[in-house]
Amino acid sequence: MTRLDNQNWLTSPATIAVFDALEAAGGPDCARFVGGSVRNALVGRPVDDFDIATRLKPEEAMAALKKAGLKVVPTGLAHGTVTAVSQKLPYEVTTLRRDVETDGRRAVVAFTDDWAEDAARRDFRLNALYADRTGAIFDPTGQGVDDALAGRVVFVGDPNTRIEEDYLRILRFFRFYAWYGRAAPDAAGLAACAAHAEGLTRLSAERVSKELLKLLAAPDPRPAVHAMREAGVLNRLFPAVDDLAAFDAISEASEDAVLRLSALLPDDPSDVAGIARSLRLPRAVEMRLAAAAGGPLDPATGDRELRVLTWRLGKQAVRDRIQRGAAIRPGTGTTKAVALVDNWPIPRLPVGGRDLAKLGIEPGPEHGRILKAFEAEWIADDFPAEGHLERLRRLAAQP
């Protein structure tokens, strides 16, 4: 039997407290770690979340954890999930389940005490791995350990059935391939994703965008994104990308998921804003994508022009456009250009209505005309730090 060794999280006091509480109510082997923690520990990746599967019913698990003095949050009772907080660490505890009914978006479940039934409803074999508190791994599909070690992402059972249960598994297939795949995508899984790509339109935009950004945050998402395009999945999310060269270059140069996403979108701010809204991306991400959509910026752009663009668009937008330009046209100047943008203290417009009032100009349309003319000259002269009142007085005297 494969075993996890030298895993501090398995023997931590926080973990011991949770397992002691559950086993006091359900006996030995009533609870096992499942999914990401087991998979990541097996392949030497960081473990940063703790999911536990248990034979105990949700109410029994809650009672056992509370009896042990642990905080319990009923995070998803309908699906059998509660969260135990042990020494400030969250442990998601879920009763073993089997699907009773699915519609491609959500499932109605029934609780079970059969580990194999629970494994059969999971998405991929490398995620259907369990480990007891000693680190002993249980592999109900018989191939999860081998898949994880070999870098294979293979659906549990029939891939068409798994996808029809939840169409988000299409994106999860590519996301896990981006993070864990080390060979060509599983052919049967890829064919099933292509066949059911239309099902993505039935999902909530929030679920889709969250999965997409996780995929793009992978160390190298390029093989996964190319496979998505070939399977007809990419153009279900936004207009088809004719050429992935810019995306490939940016993905190699930067691990920023939002910057990578910008390379998959049109160079039209209004189009990009519409796509971002349809994906229900956070407002800050939407604005960043729209600002970056003005087109790649040559890193050799002059300092004065960079300052003007930074004044008008903000540091993040100009930095994104420089990095996009550098990826497409690699060469010198990128570090210098980014450093200029990062280090330049964006000045505030140094005059305002009070200054005009001191010149005896009454509030009204004339204020706006003079201030607009001042801003244009001040920017054209590269944001001088002096001579503001003289400039303002001259502009005010003009008809």
Contacts of 249 (CB under 8 A, 6+ apart): 263, 327, 328, 330
Which tokens is 290 given?
């729209």
Neighbours of 59 (CB within 10 A): 12
Amino acid identity for residue 395 in this structure = L
| Local confidence band at 104 (pLDDT 50, 70, 90 cut-offs) | low
Q: Name 86's Cβ contacts closer than 8 Å, sequence gap at least 6.
A: 14, 15, 17, 18, 70
> Tens of pLDDT along 169-217?
999 999 999 999 999 999 999 999 999 999 999 999 999 999 999 999 9
pLDDT for position 333:
65
Helices (H), 106-265: 115-120, 144-150, 159-165, 168-180, 187-195, 205-216, 222-230, 245-253, 257-262
| Range picked from 26-30, 110-114, 266-270 for highest mean pLDDT | 26-30
What does DSSP assign to residue 234?
Answer: G
| CA–CA gap between residue 178 and residue 167 (Å, rounded) | 18
Structural domains in the chain, sorted by start: 1-150 (3.30.460.10), 152-237 (1.10.3090.10), 243-346 (no CATH), 353-397 (no CATH)
Task: Characterize the bridge pairing of strands 71-76 and 107-111.
Answer: unpaired
- Token match 């580990």: residue? 115
User: Do 165 and 211 meet the contact criterion of CB atoms below 8 Å apart?
Assistant: no
Mean pLDDT in residue range 96-124: 82
Q: What type of residue is 163?
A: I
Which amino acid, one-letter code, is at 253?
A
